[in-house]
């Protein structure tokens, strides 16, 4: 038993000594007692240190418990606050739904008004963009109307009043005649500032010439490439010089469309020069010129013959070879003593010889006068054939495709009538003058024959 007890003690001491031997504090122990004392001191110090650690742990545990308690209290407070906020949120949601319903009901009329304002602003903007008033008032109102037409907010009262003012100002300017300086684009493209007279929003003139309003070049005016007839231009020039009172003036209610169409109108000569009648039209013109030349030459020849015959009538006893009456008289004076019947036959023959020369060319004029309407009818037929060919190929959807044939048909008809009517009148006049010359020859020859017979009867 004692042996058993001593062994553990020895083992414990050996272990303690081995531990103490490894520790720096026991490095210098010289006996077991000293080692024991050192061991006791080490245990005492270790116990004190452990007590200190236990106290610190308990202190930290109490502190952590306090923090945990505070956290639990704060969590409970926050949960109560969350419940309150949740209840308040639900209440606010209900109030917000009620207010949105009220707002939707009250803003319905304003929404309709906003749409109407945008539409009206767009319409006024388009009208102002094409209005001559913009050139006078500037681009500031265009910016306002454009912004209002594209706005996505309800307009303010001031903007609504401005919109009403711009509409009223445009209507007011419609009835005014105003003179102001504006940029005018000349025919060659150069720009110059000139005094412009504006009649409402319809017509503008500068230097007595009509202008058109250019909407795409910042409110500038452009001179027409070609002015209308002198009748309209003279009225415009007289109107520019006036300063007061009522005066006559040409107004284009289409703001330039009618003026542009007016300057594109062509007279008969222009249509002829542009060959709207085709080859038949040129043929009619050529024959007309030939007929007029023949008529002119015939008119001059008959005038010369009339003058020579009148001169010969003053001196019947001395016939001349240079005129028809002189040649007829020569047939009498060739053998005045011959028998009356022979002289009569001889003078009739002389008159018959002179008749073709006097009437030469009249038949050609008459034929040309008759050919004119026939050629016009031919051009009409060919033009209508062209029209029906266009209809067959392209249908009737585009009238311009048929305009060429119709124009040719009408132009050839007009040219044929223009050729026939004056040639008929000229032929009638020339035939009357030729008949008068032949009648003069007949009268003089009959007079000589009667005188010859009277002389023979007296003898």
For residue range 392-409, what is the model confidence (pLDDT) as tens digits? Answer: 777 776 666 666 677 778
| Selected residue with higher pLDDT from 458 and 169 | 169
Alpha carbon distance 377, 410 (integer Å): 9
418: confidence class by pLDDT, cuts 50, 70, 90: confident
Quick count: other Cβ atoms within 10 Å of Cβ 4?
A: 7
Q: Provide the token pair at 216.
A: 């795409």
Alpha carbon distance 240, 33 (integer Å): 143
For residue range 139-156, what is the model confidence (pLDDT) as tens digits? Answer: 778 888 888 888 877 788
14: confidence class by pLDDT, cuts 50, 70, 90: very low
Q: Name the nearest CA neighbour of 259 among 189, 203, 187, 216.
A: 203
Alpha carbon distance 417, 284 (integer Å): 10
For residue range 295-317, what is the model confidence (pLDDT) as tens digits? Answer: 999 899 888 888 888 887 777 77
HSE (side-chain half, CA atoms, 13 Å) at 11: 6
pLDDT higher than 60, residue 233: yes
Q: Provide the token pair at 83.
A: 């419940």
For residue range 93-139, what is the model confidence (pLDDT) as tens digits? Answer: 989 988 888 877 766 666 677 778 888 888 888 888 878 888 887 77
pTM for the full predicted model = 0.49
| Selected residue with higher pLDDT from 340 and 62 | 62
pLDDT higher than 70, residue 223: yes
């Amino acid at each position: 038993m004692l042996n058993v007890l001593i062994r553990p003690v020895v083992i414990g001491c050996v272990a303690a000594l081995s531990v103490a031997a490894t520790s720096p504090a026991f490095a210098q122990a010289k006996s077991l007692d000293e080692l024991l004392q050192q061991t006791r001191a080490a245990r005492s110090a270790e116990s004190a240190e452990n007590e200190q650690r236990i106290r610190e742990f308990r202190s930290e545990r109490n502190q952590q418990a306090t923090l945990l308690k505070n956290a639990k209290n704060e969590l409970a407070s926050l949960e109560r606050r969350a419940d309150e906020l949740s209840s308040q949120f639900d209440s606010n949601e209900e109030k917000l739904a009620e207010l949105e319903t009220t707002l939707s009901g009250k803003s319905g009329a304003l929404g309709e008004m906003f749409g109407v304002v945008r539409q009206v602003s767009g319409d006024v903007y388009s009208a102002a963009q094409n209005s001559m008033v913009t050139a006078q008032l500037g681009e500031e109102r265009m910016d306002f109307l454009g912004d209002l037409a594209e706005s996505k907010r309800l307009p303010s009262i001031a903007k609504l009043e401005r919109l009403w003012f711009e509409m009223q100002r445009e209507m007011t300017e419609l009835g005014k005649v105003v003179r102001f300086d504006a940029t005018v684009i000349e025919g060659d493209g150069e720009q110059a500032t000139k005094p412009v007279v504006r009649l409402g929003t319809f017509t503008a003139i500068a230097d007595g010439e009509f202008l058109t309003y250019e909407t795409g070049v910042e409110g500038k005016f452009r001179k027409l490439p070609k002015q209308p007839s002198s009748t309209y231009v003279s009225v415009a020039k007289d109107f520019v010089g006036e300063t007061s009172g009522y005066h006559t003036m040409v107004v284009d209610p289409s703001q330039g469309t009618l003026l542009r169409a007016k300057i594109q109108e062509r007279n008969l000569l222009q249509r002829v020069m542009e060959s709207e009648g085709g080859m038949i039209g040129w043929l009619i013109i050529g024959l007309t010129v030939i007929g007029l030349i023949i008529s002119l030459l015939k008119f001059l020849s008959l005038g010369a013959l009339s003058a020579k015959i009148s001169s010969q009538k003053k001196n019947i006893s001395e016939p001349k070879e240079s005129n028809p009456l002189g040649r007829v008289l020569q047939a009498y004076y060739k053998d005045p003593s011959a028998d009356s019947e022979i002289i009569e036959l001889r003078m009739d023959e002389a008159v018959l010889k002179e008749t073709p020369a006097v009437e030469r060319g009249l038949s050609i004029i008459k034929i040309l006068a008759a050919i004119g309407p026939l050629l016009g009818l031919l051009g009409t037929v060919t033009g209508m054939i062209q029209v029906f060919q266009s209809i067959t190929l392209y249908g009737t959807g585009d009238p311009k495709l048929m305009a060429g044939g119709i124009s040719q048909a009408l132009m050839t008809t007009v040219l044929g009538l223009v050729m026939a009517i004056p040639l008929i009148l000229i032929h009638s006049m020339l035939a009357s003058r030729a008949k008068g010359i032949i009648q003069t020859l007949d009268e003089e020859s009959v007079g000589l024959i009667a005188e010859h017979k009277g002389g023979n009867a007296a003898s």
